[in-house]
Amino acid sequence: MENSGEFPVSAAKQEDEVIEIPSLLTVISSKEIQGFDTTEGIDKIADNRETEVTNGIQSVSISMPHTPRKVYFNDHPQEFSSKVVPHGSPPSETTEAKYYSQPMPRTATPVEVAGNGQNPAQYSGPQARNPHVERLKDARFDSFKTWSGKLERQLSHLRGKPVEPQPERKPRDHAEGEPLPVDRYFDALEGPELDTLRPSEELMLPDDKTWPFLLRFPIASFGICLGVSSQAILWKTIANSSSTTFLKVSPLVNLILWTISIALVIIVAIIYSLKLIFYFEAVRREYYHPIRVNFFFAPFISLLFLALGCPPSVTKDLHQSLWYILMFPFLCLELKIYGQWMSGGQRRLSKVANPVNHLSVVGNFVGALLGASMGLKEGPIFFFAVGMAHYTVLFVTLYQRLPTNKTLPKELHPVFFLFVAAPSVASMAWAKIQGSFDYGSRIAYFIAIFLYFSLAVRINFFRGFTFSLAWWAYTFPMTGAAIATLRYSNEVTNWVTRTLALILTAISTLVVTSLLVTTLLHAFVFRNLFPNDIAIAISDRAVKPQRKKWFKHLRHGSSDANDIEQYLKFVSTEGNDVESSVEPSRNNNNEKEENGGIV
């Protein structure tokens, strides 16, 4: 018994003598029992354990209640006696003793094991958990996983690992296999971009911790690809433009930017493809989001930019079949988006009108520009006509700003520059279709330049808000205006057009470079580029407020509150006392009670 770390507190000299069990209410002083509630006893236990480890003796210490009678080591109970044989006593001589639980020694940590000169690999204590792994194993994210965690549980079962019980799905959680209705986005979210949760709503995902990276990676990340790939087109135009030959820009600049754009598009596409594979529900919620759906045009617009910015050293003529492959996704998305704008409902244009909608229109002009560059005629004219018709409707809707539309906050002011993108690209597309920068192209170009300067002179649009992915909305429209100015300067060559082209080129290049560096800092240094995406974590039904029936009179407002309001209205009026100001509110309450609460 010495090896177990337990100490007898009393012993009988006779074999048949039995010690009386003390009452539970008896107060025992810590000094009456040797080693009880003192540090000496704990130190002695530790010394005994060190001696046992040195001698190769393994012992197990089990905390047990006073004078136990049965221990269930297996399925069958085993009887044993509380009489023990002290060390060195004859077998026939037994003594009874009572034992008290002792604190178990603390297990050494891997750092302490390494400090004692031992191999840390031999450490058998509890292992520290990786927070990133634990975050991926959180069952609350299973509703957004493609397999809802079933594959992971099956693999764990095959490996023989215990499977943790899954929490029951709440009634308000989204049912698998059914898209979220558009009404829920308007009911649960607020703000111009529908990305802010209303106070009365709850999230399906935890808001007290950082979500997995793929869940936080939005479709708006393709805006970075738009900004960088448009720079490749800009410097290709500068190298081949007759009005900027004095700059002697090397085609190598275009090749470097085009290579960087390809790498960036591949990286972003791979990450979002992983999100599509592992978190399909999150991608589907972005697709059914009334505003986010416009960003699904961005990946295909980036591919069109790569085709337009292809260096002559790589290839001079692209095959015409490439144009049909790239424009097919545009046709499918436009049939869905434009049909919803026209048919009405919750997705009608007057309801979802936002500057981001320009992304669904500008792709028509970019496709028309690429098709005309390949020598096509009918296809580019078709997409140009579709884009011009819907751009006109969108321009008027956004310009008048119906009372149902909300004012954009400062964080979204950069998206106003998307107004410049469509007319800039439209002017170049029509010039390529017609073969010259004629009056139609110039009209579209002048509209773009006017919108550019009308936004640029508003200094408040460039300050007062923190960095976010929305800032990349500056890059593509600015670059498009610079390219259109270069094309216009080739037709009208003078010092004004050349100076304007150089200024716009310098501004767009500086903005793209600054945003690229800032994005890398926020992504890898500050690590706050991708916050939790609240817009995709809303529940499929609203939380019903619990009304207390004994407070029915609060439905129409408290009479005291109405009295205070009436008092504040008439307190500054001469000749009226306080009671006269309170009377109208009391009369209104009486009328409501007489009409049964109907106003």
Percent of the chain topping pLDDT 90: 45
Residue 22 pLDDT more than 60? no
Quote the DSSP letter at residue 279. -
Summarize the confidence of residues 362-389 as an average pLDDT: 97
pLDDT at 595: 42
Identify which of 469, 545, 480, 544 has the alpha carbon closest to the alpha carbon of residue 507.
480
Bridge partner residues of 196 (DSSP) = 190
pLDDT band at 66 (very low <50, low <70, confident <90, very high): low
CA angle at 261 for the pair 256 and 263, rounded to the nearest 5°: 100
| DSSP-assigned beta bridge partners for residue 79 | 70
Which residues, including other chains, have CB under 8 Å from residue 359's CB and lie 6 or more apart?
294, 295, 297, 298, 301, 418
* Per-residue confidence band for 411, with pLDDT thresholds at 50, 70 and 90: low
Reported as type and span, the H/E element at residue 95 is strand 95-96
Beta carbons of 86 and 2 less than 8 angstroms apart: no
- Across the range 248-272, mean pLDDT stands at 96
pLDDT tier at 148, thresholds 50, 70, 90: low
pLDDT at 336 over 70: yes
Distance (Å, whole) CA 589 – CA 570: 18
Least confident residue range of 228-232, 405-409, 529-533, 571-575: 571-575
Mean pLDDT of the chain: 76
The pLDDT of residue 81 is above 50: no
Measured between alpha carbons, how far is 584 from 294 in angstroms, rounded to an integer? 52
Closest CA to 416 of 385, 460, 366: 460
Taking residues 286-295, report their average pLDDT: 92
Residue 119 has φ and ψ, to the nearest 5°, of -80, 120
Say if residue 335's pLDDT is above 60: yes
Q: What stretch of H or E contains 79?
A: strand 78-79
Average pLDDT over residues 393-420: 76
Rounded Cα gap, residues 467 and 519, in angstroms: 9
| Amino acid of residue 502 | L
H/E element holding 189? strand 189-190
Where residue 425 falls among pLDDT bands split at 50, 70, 90?
very high
What is the pLDDT, as a whole number, of residue 107? 54
| DSSP H/E element including 422 | helix 418-434
CA proximity to 459, closest of 397, 496, 410: 410
∠ CA 115-120-126 to the nearest 5 degrees? 110
Residue 549: alpha-carbon gap to chain centroid: 39
User: In the predicted model, what is the mean pLDDT of residues 69-89?
Assistant: 49
Q: Which of 409, 313, 325, 315 shows the shortest CA–CA distance to 367?
A: 325
53's tokens? 């480890």
In three-state secondary structure terms, 61 is: coil
In sequence order, which residues have a C-beta less than 8 Å from that of residue 270 and are 6 or more positions away? none
What are the φ/ψ torsions at residue 208 (nearest 5 degrees)? -100, 10
Q: Which of 140-144, 209-213, 324-328, 562-566 has the highest mean pLDDT?
A: 324-328
Q: How confident is the model at residue 9 (pLDDT cuts 50, 70, 90)?
A: very low
Q: State the average pLDDT over residues 348-367.
A: 92
Residue 415, CA distances (Å) to 223, 230, 422, 436, 476 in order: 11, 17, 13, 31, 11
Contact between residue 139 and residue 148 where contact means Cβ atoms under 8 Å apart = no
Return the exposure string of 35-61: e unless at least 16 CB atoms fall within 10 Å of the residue's CB, then b: beeeeebbebbeebbeeeeeeeeeeeb
Above 70 in pLDDT, residue 130? no
Question: Residues of 91-112 as b/e, b for ≥16 C-beta within 10 angstroms?
Answer: eeebbbbbbbebeeeeeeeeee
Portion of the chain with pLDDT greater than 70, in percent: 60
